[in-house]
Structure formats: C-alpha cells, structure tokens
Chain A
Amino acid sequence: MKAGGFLTMAMALCMAVSVKAQEKMTLMPAWMPQSQFAGYYVALEKGFYADENIDLTIEHMGVNSSKPGIERIGSGEVDIIISHPIQALMARDYGLKVKNVLQVTQNTGIMIVSHKKLDGPQSLNGQSIGRWKSGFSEICEICCLNNNLDVKWVPFLNGINLFMSGAIDATVVMKYNEYYSLVEAMGSIDPENVLWFADCGYDIPEDGLYVTEEYLAGHRDLVERFCRASMKGWNYCVEHKEECVDIVMDYMEKVGVKTNRYHQTVMLDGMIELLRNRETGRIDYASIPQDKYDKLVRDLLKAHYIETPVSYSEFSK
C-alpha cells in the first residue's frame, strides 16, 4: 500500500510539473468562431499547442461589438490576435506597438458586391457602400481614394441584411464569408456584380498573428512556438477538411453561433485558397513582400490612415 501510494503521488507530481510547464496564452480571433480561424481551433483540438507547451485559451469578441481586437492586445485583455496589416499599422500610428509575428494568408479576400454591374473600381463611383465598423475594409477606401471616386461609405456591424434591405448600393464582403452568405441569400451572385481587390492591384495579405512589442520581447520563444503550432494546425486543415469543419462546427455550436456546414465548408475552401501564393500555389506563410508593404504604407499615409511611416522591420518581427 505504501509503495502504491508513493507511485501515485509521484505520477501526480509529474503531471503537475508538466501542466505547470505549459505557458498560458490567450488568442482573440478577429470575429466569432468560423472556418476563417479553423487552423487555430484544429491546432488546439489536435494538441499542437500543448505539444509546444502552450496552454491556449481562445476568446471571441461579442457579436454586437465594434471594438477592434487590436485594441484588446493593447489593453492586455488578450496576448495575441488575428488581424490585418492595415489594422496593425494604424494601431502603431496610434502608438500601440504591435508586431506581425506570422503572416498566414497571402492574398486579400476583400470584395465589393453591388446591386449594380461593376467594371473595375471606377464603376463604384457614386455608390453607397457598406463597410464594417471594426475595420478590415480600408483597402477598398484607399482604392477609391486613389481613383478619386465619390463613394458614400456606410459603416455597419456585420452581416448582409443592410445590403439585402436595399438601403445601400453595395457592400464590402470577404471572399470566403459574406460572399457565400449572399449566395445563400440569393441563390447565386452574378460575377459581373463583384469586384475582387486582388484583381485591382490591391492584393494585400490579410489574416496574420500580432502581439505587442512588449509581449514579444518577453515571450519570443513562446510566440515562435505558437506560430509553429498554428502553421501545423493550418497544414492539417489542408489535408483534413471534413474533420476540420467538424471541429469548427463544434466551436460555433458552443458559442451559439448559427451556421450551416455548407457555409463553413466553402469558407474553409476559401481560406485555403488565400493561404496559397497566387503565383506558386504553395503554402509557405511568407511575410508580406517588402515592395507590397512599402506601397501599402504610402497609400495609408496618403489616405491619412497613418500619419507617420512605419518601417518594414518595425512591422514584422
């Protein structure tokens, strides 16, 4: 009995040491659970973070919230967020020193769908266009600005109801999300009513992982391990789509988000398409190219989204 008790205590101690060795980390995706973030849920569920000794918690923002996630790493609510380069640069301009630690997608998913036919950015002139209050549609506004277009931007929270009600002429959508919501609402979308900004010279990569400089300085190894596990999660998604959709659906059910399997499947397909380099077709999680970055900074300065330039080295780790 004594020997057995000692063995039990030793095992419990080992487990305690093991748990203690895992470093806590909190991730906030840019939205509610959906296939856009499948790689992170899958990495968590498959134990890829645990393998890297990370005890990850994923927190989601409220469905009616307009507070950008990037503000939440500044306040320390979360450790790492999923955001876009433009949001990060604007945050830096506000004084929040955030750094890109992994560029996940390689292309933009931003589109504009209109009730009218679209033929290039010029055709947006005079239209009222819905955009998310939380951001992510700045590239559209920069494009319109560069083309001297008279566009009325209408901020809204989310969804497609504003556009479907006919209150606005057009709306910003993500190629992998709201675009399919509109397809599900109308049965189909005429391709002539769609403008994809990757085809308009504004193919700025989007989803990436961001932390504050301060956090990175103190947790460089942890962040690297996190990125490694996240990439593993995404790679797993590419090979096991159905299983990953199952995982996403479970997450969505837990938080009570209404969805359907078709939507999450096409969203995952859309995300995987954005993961790939458009020229090589490879998934390499490459950092944003320097020339593309420099043009983006120039555009942001011109549009006064930022007032001071941010160097490439300041932006990316």
Chain B
Amino acid sequence: MAQAIRKISKRVPDQQEEQAQATEEIMRELTENKEAVLGAIQLMKGLQEMGIYDALRGMLENRTEVGAIAIQQINQPFMHNVIKNGMNGAKFLGSLSPEQTEKMMKGVGLGLQKMAEAGQQEEPQSLWKMRKKLKSPEIKASIAAMAAFMEGLGTAFVQPSQQEQDKKG
C-alpha cells in the first residue's frame, strides 16, 4: 500500500564538507602555481598602494555612467579625426609597394649622406657649379621623379573626394 505523497526530503549538502572540498581545490592550484601567484600579489600590492584599485572599483560599480561619459568623449570630431587619420595612415602604408619604398628610402639615405658631405666642404658652392651639377644624370633623375610625384599629388587635389562624390551621387 503506497499512498501518493508529495514531500521530498532533500539531502542538504553539508556546508563544511563542500567548503573543505573547495579549499582543497584552491590550495592545490595555489601551490602548483606558486611563482605566478606570488608575482601577481606583488603587482596587486603596488596597484593597491597607488589607489588604482579604488578607482577601478568606482568605475566598475558605475560602469554604465562611466561608459556613457567615455564614449561621449571618444565620439567627438577630434577623436574621429584621430581614428580616421590613423586608419588613413595605415591604408597609405598598405598601398605602397615595398620595392619602391626600399628604393626611395635608399635614395633618401644617400641624399642625406651627400647633403651632409656637401655641408662639410669648406669650399663655397658657386651657382655655376650648381648649374653644372644639374646636368648630372643623378640630379636629372631626381628632378624628374619630383615632377612626377607632384603631378600625382596634384591629381588628388583636382579630383573630388569620395565623400563629395557621394553627396553629388
């Protein structure tokens, strides 16, 4: 004979037992990672002394407010420009061909070297001498390259920007 019953006696987990098990696990991890733990404690101690923990706690407890202020600060034209310029810079670097860059950098290096050498010469540079130098193939190549560069630069100035294009479209 078994009547319907609803009562369930749950075996409440022994708190002490559970605690002992947890402590054991923690101690095992601590001893196995002694160096890392001690290092971390040193670091934490430093941060504590500097008052950084308090500041972090304050920020954490008010994270929504702090986050809103932070994002507001970041979401400003100045920061937009910083980010955009950063990205444009990266894009620029990405667009350069490494061989060309190498060549140019080498050229710049040699140019600097020559410049330094010229500065050390005691003999004054006469216009005549300089005109004569213009005939050298190195200088001609350099001036031609400069002219080509300026042409490219000018093209970008003359063409409307993408944004302007969008507005028109």
Asked if chains A and B come from one complex, the reply is no
B residues at A contact (CB < 8 Å): none
Interface of A toward B, CB cutoff 8 Å: none
